[in-house]
Structure 1
């Protein structure tokens, strides 16, 4: 089972077992978009065209995604760091193909993890955290910041086209994709999404669908990566259903706009964000 599978809320260890058994039973008859696949229905992006993307690894293996908010801060999903030894974690910036040597890369250790104080593992409510790097990123063509929504911004309307990127695995044997993948998705009305999830969704989430009959979305090891609508991070990959990209269980993201004040409060308590790589319009 991939190390950072984003599962439905409340599945826990039993859910892990169910996914492992299901994966074993379906190896010979693969369902398109099933668990353990890469970004579903997507494509490889142009190298370094998503310079805000971050890979978080443990023991030399990609574990989760994230995005660079500030030269010393990364935004990711809180569930990625449960039961993890932060001293073994690395944050990789400027990457495209994780298995290749790339001169554009910058690698940092995790100096601190700030989890949202109301994060609820059982329901994945408030599934967001900040990682403070042990140094400052050097911005350039392959490493850039991604903006947050403006304070008080409403979430994107249903039907809005957005994109989700990641280095999710290409099989249940944890084979990585050739490089950074991306899929275009559309925001789904939250009430319709909640019906699909039988009313289990917590507040402050976003959902997406493919917009057509194809299975399209995120999968295991894409957790923590951003849902980018326009030029801002409006969502953070949180969890999906048993089969990745299945429209019966739409993809669920943390709604970033609900956490903008908290994010900047954390950053300000450590440093002055605008003296270290953000624009005044974002604060």
Structure 2
């Protein structure tokens, strides 16, 4: 499936893919979890939907009652004051009594985030209130301090609300795909050596296309019971083994995450790229 619609869009994307890393963040377009299936409603209570103007834009996950992790590229050219974070959802197009909706009090992007290379593609969202935890809304654990990324071949899961066709048909609910961790050196050879050590890759592990695509950006790659990856970017054809899916490696940013969460309130003088109310 191609992450974009229309002949002109396909032509431009094809040229860009042939020349360089994707320069347009995946969260700015729409596509699907590839080769996945719908999960049981509310079986992934940590999942968050980040929306603008009533439309799902990116994913994320709740790791503290008023903190969500997402991808920094989701907020390029976006005013966080117009965004909402939806928790406790399964289908984004029906009314659900389990939903909790918050505005965004602050966005803390990693200070070394590089839009052109996607390096350090991670941000923290401070909600304007505290989520009420329960069966429908829960927390996902971060890797422990000093944890290593999962070994190549490890079976993991990636989930999201991306559209299920090039015509932007909405999914019936939260979708998820099983993928396997790919050795970073092998992955880097497919990306012409442009990946950083703080990235993580996955592939289907077989002949089928499976993985994430654009509107799944910011969602977690769950290995075991912890978030080891954060959806960052993929190739022109989602799930294509020639351009494996690339994630931000969460374990490389655990110390930074806790420094932000446990530190003083975000400000523009703290050396961080921040917007706050």
Q: Partners of 1:95 and 1:253 in 2: how far apart?
A: 23
Q: What is the CA RMSD across the aligned residues, in angstroms?
A: 2.1
Residues 194 and 21 (structure 1), Cα distance of their counterparts in 2 relative to 1, 3 Å cut: closer
Q: CA deviation at 1:203?
A: 2.1
- Per the alignment, residue 55 of structure 1 pairs with 49
Distance of 2:136 and 2:182 partners within structure 1? 31
Q: Contact 1:165–1:180 at 8 Å: present in 2 too? A: yes
- TM-score, scaled to structure 2: 0.86
Worse overlay, 253-262 or 169-178 = 169-178
CA distance in 1, matches of 2:227, 2:9: 29
Cα gap change, 1:269 to 1:16, in 2 (>3 Å): farther
Q: Extract unaligned runs of 5+ from structure 2.
A: 17-28, 266-277
Residue 115 of structure 1 corresponds to 109
Shift of 1:19: 2.9
Q: Which runs of 4+ in 1 moved over 6 A?
A: 14-17
Distance 1:21 1:157, change over 3 A: closer
Of residues 151, 154, 158, the one that matches 1:160 is 154
Change (3 A) 1:172 1:20: farther
Partner of 1:80: 74
Q: What SS is found at the alignment partner of 2:247? A: strand
Distance 1:71 1:18, change over 3 A: same
* Corresponding position: 1:217 with 2:214: no
Q: Say which of 58, 70, 95 aligns to 1:101.
A: 95
How far apart, CA to CA, are the structure 2 residues paired with 1:115 and 1:247? Answer: 30
Select which of 151, 168, 173 maps to 1:174: 168
In the other structure, the counterpart of 1:208 is 202
Query: CA offset at residue 161 of structure 1?
Result: 0.2
Q: Secondary structure at the match of 2:215?
A: coil
2:144 alignment counterpart:
150
Deviation of 1:85 (Å): 1.1
> 1:220 deviation in Å?
1.4
**Corresponding residue for residue 195 of structure 1:** 189
TM-score (norm 1): 0.84
Gaps of at least 5 residues in structure 1 are 7-13, 23-34, 272-283
What is the alpha-carbon distance in structure 2 between the residues aligned to residue 86 and residue 173 of structure 1? 27
Q: What secondary structure sits across from 2:62 in the alignment?
A: strand
In structure 2, what is the Cα distance between the partners aligned to 1:269 and 1:168?
A: 34
Answer yes or no: is the 8 Å Cα contact 2:14–2:236 preserved in 1. no
- May I ask how many residue pairs the two structures share in their alignment? 249
Say if 2:75 is the partner of 1:43: no
CA distance in 1, matches of 2:10, 2:252: 29
